[in-house]
Structure 1
Amino acid sequence: MSAKTEGIAPNASRLLWAGFMAILAAGVGFAIRGGIFDNWGKEFGFTATQLGAIGGAGFSGFCFGIILGGVIVDKIGYGKLVALALICHIISAFVTFGASTPENAYSYLFWGMFIFAYANGTLEAVANPLVATLYPNNRTHFLNILHASWPAGMVLGTVAGWILDDKMQLNWKLQLALYLVPTALYAIMFLGQKFPKSEAAEKGASFVQMLKPVGILGAVVACYLLALFFGDIIKAFSPDNAKAIGYGIGGALLIVVALITKFSLGSILLFILFVTHALVGAVELGTDGWIQNITGNLFSSEQGKYLFIWTSAIMFGLRFCAHWIETKLKLSPIGLLLVCAIIACVGLNLASGMQTFGMALVALGIYAVGKTFFWPTMLAVIGDRYPHTGAVAMSIMGGIGMLSAGLIGGPGLGYGKDRFAGEALEKANPALYAEYKAAEPSKFLNLDSTAAYGLDGKKLAAAKEASPKTPEQQAVVDADQKGDRATLKADSFIPMTMAGIYLLLLIYFKAIGGYRVVKIDEQAA
């Protein structure tokens, strides 16, 4: 199946691969960042929860880029957003590289990652609706090809980080700068191209018409996550009032959407898809952000990189096969998502008990197969069922997924690592736990009821690096590994929940005559 013959525009293939390169830049930056978490923890003394929050900013900013971009892309055109993303990618490098001391590092790294993610989100606000518009007859296939660039970028970033960090031991700033190479390439590939309009924009749909199917129900999901985000940001300035202010901002945004849509309730199906995509973001990207760190801890740093490359390579290859799998197995997009959720759940459960490198290859390989089709196929479902929303619904759903990864998935796994490792050491040796526990408690979603003391980052790093290890140091390392395994086990409950939702959706579509692509004129009628 050719990208040239399937596309509705003569430059469809070039635009597809330009979008591919743009997302590849995000994947390269993501992978290198995951590989240097240990550098940051050692250099600046961060806890796992702090590292998770920094990594989470690399997702949260994405939400703003994709939602704001998705709202205006049909009105201002794709080219202007590509230029904005390019500028933000460059700025993010300078901000991130400003981290130099334990006192300033958290702020510089957090905001550097946020700006980087904003650029990535802006590019996806371009690429997703662009490819959905260019290939209306086979969105699942070509959106999966577009998003094959994400694991490709992760493979390239991991290999580059492995060579520059483990082998050459170059400064982490030099490693992170590599994402600027594909950044320059996507800028060149998009330069001078003519972009088509989405089907909704071509029909003259207004922004209000595009937003109505999202309505109050869909906005509740996005605004709740935005409330969490603003509350987390404001916490640095007003810790006592942060939560209330965050919910106040989220509530105000919800009222704005209600007024704009004239209090349209929105589509219940779209609401369910939004909630499910929040789970997708948490389990796919949240886990990706930590998996290299976890496997490197359970085995070795080098083996952790091998495993990350292995899972990313599986995703890259399979995302070119979505059409073949749907056709041969006679699966609808919802059926494909259901199968993937079950496989991902099995893979994470197996990974929680992996003791050998061979078993890790099997367990994480199964998990990789499961997570491969989640993100692009969910986008394809939006494009198939809600073409009249243009880029709006698709972009909001992408933003929800990334916000969830940044606020729930990444920090949640970091919190799990802290909590379970601390509990394991306290159970094994209370006196040793008192010596190694972090100065500040870790919390999930800023809830005081979840407060738990993890292990101090610098002391933990020293115990890991000691050779030979004292019995006490070995006990600390063992507890940390037990925390990692328990975290993967807890993580498996997310795809289990997704499988239940996809099963209900499968039953729903069967009841209404089966899953099919909706045409915009039909939907309007």
Structure 2
Amino acid sequence: MPENRINPRAIFWICVLALFTAALSFSIRTGASGAIKAALLDPAVPLHSGEMIAAALGNSFLGFALSLIVLSPLLDTLGTKRVVLFCSACFIAGPLLILAAPHMGDIDAVYATLMVGMVVSGFGWGAMEASVNPMTAALYPEDKTHRLNVLHAWWPAGIVAGGLLSVLVFQQLELSWEVLIALIPIPALIFGAWALTQEFPHTESTSLGVPFGEMIAEPFKHPGFWIFPAIMFLTASTELAPGSWVDIALTQTTGMPGILVLVYVSAIMFVMRHFAGTLEKRFSDIGMLWFCTVPAGIGLYALSLANSPATALVAATLWAFGVCFMWPTMLAAAARRYPRSGAWGIGLLGFAGAMAIYLVLPQIGKIYDQAKLAKAGGSEAFAALQPGPQLQDVLAYAAEQSFQAIAVIPMALFVIFGALALVERRRKRKLQPA
């Protein structure tokens, strides 16, 4: 491919817009989840509606994981341009399926269509991760941590945009959730059309001359590689699982739309990710992640206790400082240590992160449902509750229990990152000349 036909700046901003669209989609689905639950699930299955909406939201992560694990190793074979266009198509088709769900008839058909729409939206998300991270690593091979964090700064920017749109649609304009979902395809059309005009470079492993078979085998040659997907499972559970649950849970406990907490957290993350390169040079990537686990754990636990807008924002500030660097820095850390694994290696980490949310989010919903029934005194007692202070207390207790269940994960990460930082420091000392 002639190098003079590649416009790195345009490619990077197409990657940014694709990632922004994925975040906007995630934020809008989260912002609309309470309204979808109330409109479609509460009337038909009130005792299990929390678990069911959590499973539906989690299905987008299943689509994310499946498309990511399939497309990552085939990125250069299929062509990055085709993968980006597939991403655009999924962010158009997925929302259309979600919009079609209420018109499918009985609750089984409605729920099935909703689930398929979430999966297809997840396909777009996975295609985005499969393409934009290797592209950024290939465009900036000597500056991965900084550039991947700058790229992923647009994830919280998309969250902010989607959250504010959610508040505008529901609180100010008092429109239906369908209007909100219908906004997702707009940026998808834009970056898809822009991608049609560009030529895309090869990934870093291909540029290094690594054959396809060797790229696939690379992670299996290095047992240490598999530490990173395992850690990614936990870091994603710390960041994205609570992010998917805030609207349903915190709206019940803080007296403000929970999506606004996510908007606030995302605004902090957008700013902080631009400083990742400076922090990495001072502390190392693993050292930076180690420090992040402390505010992440304290913030999550504090969110479970928040009972007002003020306490929610204080807790959210700590959580934001904890999780803001986790996803992109994990990708950069693995790419730096195992560059010959290419898009496949990066994809394995993303797959682990996506599967974490797919598995964890329904469990959070189950904890929520079990807690609300226990607090109410059983399923019959809960079904008899009318809207009012008593129901509010029950749902607030359920939200508290669901958040406290996640707060233990950063504690485990503190030990893991600390051990990894110690091992790598000792290894560097042994390699230094006497």
TM over 0.5: yes
Distance 1:502 1:209 in 2: 29
Describe how 1:366-405 pairs up with structure 2 within 5 A.
366-405=318-357
Q: Which amino acid aligns with 1:176?
A: I
Match status 1:486 vs 2:431: no
CA RMSD of aligned residues (A): 2.1
Deviation at 1:94?
A: 2.5
**Unpaired runs of 5+ in structure 2?**
43-48
Distance 1:114 1:434, change over 3 A: closer
1:300 matched residue in structure 2: 255
Distance 1:134 1:190 in 2: 16
Match status 1:281 vs 2:236: yes
1:152 matched residue in structure 2: 157
1:73 matched residue in structure 2: 75
Describe how 1:32-431 pairs up with structure 2 within 5 A.
32-46=28-42, 47-100=49-102, 101=105, 102-215=107-220, 266-302=221-257, 304-327=258-281, 330-408=282-360, 410-426=361-377
Q: Which amino acid aligns with 2:333?
A: V
The normalised TM-score by structure 2 is: 0.92
Deviation at 1:301?
A: 4.4
Distance 1:490 1:515 in 2: 40
1:226 matched residue in structure 2: none
Distance 1:34 1:123 in 2: 19
Distance 2:307 2:177 in 1: 30
1:260 matched residue in structure 2: none
Distance 1:175 1:512, change over 3 A: same
Distance 1:31 1:199, change over 3 A: closer
Q: Which amino acid aligns with 2:238?
A: V
Give the secondary-structure state (helix, strand or coil) at the position aligned to 2:283: coil
Distance 1:402 1:515 in 2: 36
Preserved contact between residue 9 and residue 196 of structure 1 (Cα < 8 Å): no
Give the secondary-structure state (helix, strand or coil) at the position aligned to 1:148: helix
Distance 1:514 1:111, change over 3 A: farther
Distance 1:195 1:346, change over 3 A: same
Distance 1:116 1:305 in 2: 20
Preserved contact between residue 307 and residue 360 of structure 1 (Cα < 8 Å): yes
Question: C-alpha offsets along residues 313-371 of structure 1, whole Å, 9 cap, x if unaligned?
Answer: 111111111112234xx110001111111210011122222233212111111101101
Distance 1:343 1:94 in 2: 39
Moved more, 305-314 or 117-126: 305-314
Preserved contact between residue 281 and residue 405 of structure 1 (Cα < 8 Å): yes
Deviation at 1:10?
A: 6.5
Deviation at 1:401?
A: 0.5
Give the secondary-structure state (helix, strand or coil) at the position aligned to 2:141: coil
Distance 2:251 2:305 in 1: 15
Preserved contact between residue 235 and residue 326 of structure 2 (Cα < 8 Å): yes
Moved more, 173-182 or 196-205: 196-205
1:453 matched residue in structure 2: none
Percent identity over the alignment is 27
Give the secondary-structure state (helix, strand or coil) at the position aligned to 1:71: coil
The normalised TM-score by structure 1 is: 0.76
Q: Which amino acid aligns with 1:435?
A: E
**Unpaired runs of 5+ in structure 1?**
1-7, 216-265, 427-432, 438-455, 517-525
1:250 matched residue in structure 2: none
Preserved contact between residue 344 and residue 370 of structure 1 (Cα < 8 Å): yes
Distance 2:416 2:208 in 1: 33
1:452 matched residue in structure 2: none
Deviation at 1:395?
A: 0.7
1:16 matched residue in structure 2: 12
Distance 1:87 1:30 in 2: 16
Give the secondary-structure state (helix, strand or coil) at the position aligned to 1:481: helix
Question: C-alpha offsets along residues 272-302 of structure 1, whole Å, 9 cap, x if unaligned?
Answer: 1111111122221111100122111112343
Deviation at 1:267?
A: 2.5
Distance 1:16 1:67 in 2: 22
Deviation at 1:503?
A: 0.8
Match status 1:28 vs 2:19: no
